[in-house]
Structure 1
Amino acid sequence: MSSYRDLFVSAADGLRLYARDYDPGRPGALPVVCLPGLARTSEDFHDLAEALSVDPDRSRRVLSLDYRGRGRSEWDRDWRNYDVRIELNDVLQVLTAAGIEKAIFVGTSRGGLITMALSAARPTLLAAAVLNDVGPVLESVGLKRIRGYVGKLPSPRTMQEAAQILRHISGPGFPRYTDYQWEKMARGTWKEDEGQLILNYDPNLMKTLESLDLESPLPDLWPPFEGLKPFPVLAIRGGNSDLLSADTLQSMQERHPRLKAITVPDEGHAPSLEGDLVQDIRQFIIDVEASA
């Protein structure tokens, strides 16, 4: 029996959006909303969502989203709509349909950018934020690496072969990853369709990256980060991350008095939310509720 139910919601433009709804059916605890990275899906948060939704001390509802063009959400005919502003509006549509008025947001990479944007667009929705390997300064070397593979991955014949492809691309950042972890990541990257493995996202996502001039200064994201100042923040950085630098994380701590930072050794962009990190996030949420 599945630990979540499927939730389908229409976006403002009619596109069909998908979310996993882990709902224990007991009110009281703050819900958690999980927002994935650029080409990732709701599946990345399964371990965390299960742990939080069945927590014997304080179970809570967890909503994990697929953006348009990813996972089980419908692909957009116009790739230009794979934009943070439109995806933010999609998130708001899903939350309205789900009846969530305030939540703790867990955002990996792009999901963290959407969370920062949310602090300006709808601050009343935020109770706290977890930023997974993302901040107000994005390193161009990391963006170049991501641009080098999104939408351009070969078609593997098996999940084991898919895992090897990801190990070849990202192995230096995750030297301790097991075969199981690489295959788990692969299952969030490809899906089976009529006996073949195809990407679990619209390959046109790559066009949004190709339009970036990574030789010029990137947009200043400190203002949206400043919008998180009223809220407790847990910032997670992979020790080998090429997108969020140690210097940026330190600056985030200096500018945000209620920010707690964790660096995960031997992991790159972005750390998997499993194992000890699940317990770190659980404790952060407990502390947020205790101080409210």
Structure 2
Amino acid sequence: MEFTQNTVQCASPSGLHRMAYTEWGARDNPRVLLCVHGLTRNARDFDALARAMASHYRVICPDVVGRGQSSRLRNPAGYGIPQYVGDMVTLIARLGVDSVHWVGTSMGGLIGMALASLESTPIQKLLLNDVGPLITVDALQRIATYVGADPTWASFDEALAYIKLISAPFGNLDETQWRHLTEHSIAQRSDGRWGFRYDPLIAAPFKAAFADQDVDLWPLYEQIKCPTLVLRGAESDLLSRPTWEAMGSRGPRAKLAEIQGVGHAPMFMTDEQISIARDFLLSA
């Protein structure tokens, strides 16, 4: 099952930008699954899940602005959930559908929560991957240690080793999977060195907004009405067990699932993780 690469034009207060996305499955399938990645990640994280779901859905995996193949904002102050939600609404309009199912990892889950909480939301099913409505200062400070950094490496293998190190919480991936994640996270620059594909300025509004306080989005979560599943890495430091458990009894009263041996975040690269997503998304 192959994909196509497309773009959609979006607007921000500082001008226009292009958001890239991969598209899997039949274009005339009215059932659409949107898969949205984490803070510094990209659309190609979802290749295995998209391949597995493409016989059921038209699967759309966007590169959030400033990441992957998408363009960068002229004003980095725009890197935040309101802009990302607006871009997703533009993308859904481009697709010509009224409703979607949503898989969101980390930041992609926060975008999904924000959109799902709105009146007349297009989201009919929501899978939140290792993210919830309470993110602690400790977790935010850990993220702040690497987001916005712009390291470079002399070789692909050096970059691969670095990504294996900082992404160790993804779990026990094999060499092919690690190479896939690395290939789509980095690019070779004009000086011959390798560096991340994302705009390091995505860190500026993140650090300004969340530097010294918890993020409490419970009021947002409690507005969600669609069927919801929350998948947690059992060793996650971003989605705590008490918050995860509370999500099962508040708001949409989400179904809960947990992956052993994984932290932040499950990557939908194993049969077990794909099966959890598939069973929830295709259930009546």
TM-score, normalising length: structure 2: 0.91
Q: How does 1:37-56 map to 2 (within 5 A)?
A: 37-54=38-55
RMSD: 1.9
Q: 1:91 to 1:175 in 2, by over 3 A?
A: closer
| Contact 1:140 1:243 survives alignment (8 Å) | no
Alignment correspondent of 1:15? 17
1:107 aligns with 2:108: no
Which ranges of structure 2 fall in alignment gaps of 5 or more residues? none
Deviation by residue 1:166-212 (Cα, 9 ceiling, x = unmatched): 233343x3563433333333223212345432211101112123213
How far does the alpha carbon of each residue in 1:21-77 deviate from its partner, in whole angstroms, 9 at most, with x for none? 11324535x2101111111111111111111113xxxx2101111111111111112
| Residue type at the aligned position of 1:50 | R
Counterparts of residues 74-89 of structure 1 (less than 5 Å): 74-89=71-86
- Residue 172 of structure 2 corresponds to residue 176 of structure 1: yes
1:60-139 map, 5 Å: 60-121=57-118, 123-139=120-136
Correspondence for 2:246: 251
Q: Please list every run of 5 or more consecutive structure 1 residues that lacks an aligned counterpart in the other structure.
A: none
Give the aligned partner of residue 220 of structure 1.
216
* Whole-Å separation in 2 of the counterparts to 1:268 and 1:167: 14
* CA deviation map 1:221-252 (0-9, x unaligned): 01111122x21111111111111001100010
Deviating above 4 A after TM superposition, structure 1's stretches of 4 or more consecutive aligned residues are none
Contact 2:37 2:63 in 1 (8 A): yes
Where is the strand percentage greater, Structure 1 or Structure 2? 2
What is the rounded CA distance, in whole Å, between the counterparts of 1:134 and 1:156 in structure 2? 31
Pairwise mapping of residues 134-153 of structure 1 onto structure 2 (< 5 A)? 134-153=131-150
Count of aligned pairs between the two proteins:
279
CA distance in 2, matches of 1:44, 1:116: 20
Q: Are 1:273 and 2:268 an aligned pair?
A: yes
Share of identical aligned residues, percent? 31
> How has the CA–CA distance of structure 1 residues 75 and 284 changed in structure 2, closer, same or farther, with 3 Å as cutoff?
same
* Aligned equivalents of 1:45, 1:19: Cα separation in 2: 11
Query: Which amino acid is 2:273 matched to?
Result: L
